[in-house]
């Protein structure tokens, strides 16, 4: 099963457009973000990002997974608000 925290990292990287930007928004180190993405790529069995000098773009698999990631993360946030 895919890890929800890693899916949240993918979504943040996609929205920030870079690993460094996502790391800053998540209060992680860029290395920690990269490690989580590498683990997610292993879990999925495909590359999710194209890394460029000025940031990242999603691969087609990454784009497909992003939609699911946003839905899952949104549902988890809703569940947390419901029980708190």
CATH number for the domain harbouring residue 53 = 1.10.10.10
Cα 30 from Cα 32, distance rounded (Å) = 5
What's the pLDDT tens digit per position in 42-66?
999 999 999 999 999 999 999 999 9
Q: Please count the structural domains in the chain.
A: 1
Distances (CA, A) of 25 to 5, 13, 18, 28, 64: 14, 9, 11, 8, 23
Query: The pTM is what?
Result: 0.93
Domain range enclosing 40 = 4-83
Q: pLDDT tens, 12-53?
A: 999 999 999 999 999 999 999 999 999 999 999 999 999 999
């Amino acid at each position: 099963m895919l890890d929800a925290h890693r899916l949240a990292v993918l979504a943040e990287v996609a929205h920030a457009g870079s690993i460094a930007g996502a790391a800053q928004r998540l209060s992680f180190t860029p290395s920690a973000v990269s490690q989580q993405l590498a683990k997610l790529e292993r879990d999925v069995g495909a590359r999710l990002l194209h890394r460029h000098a000025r940031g990242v773009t999603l691969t087609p698999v990454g784009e497909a997974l992003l939609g699911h990631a946003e839905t899952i993360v949104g549902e988890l946030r809703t569940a947390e608000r419901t029980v708190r």
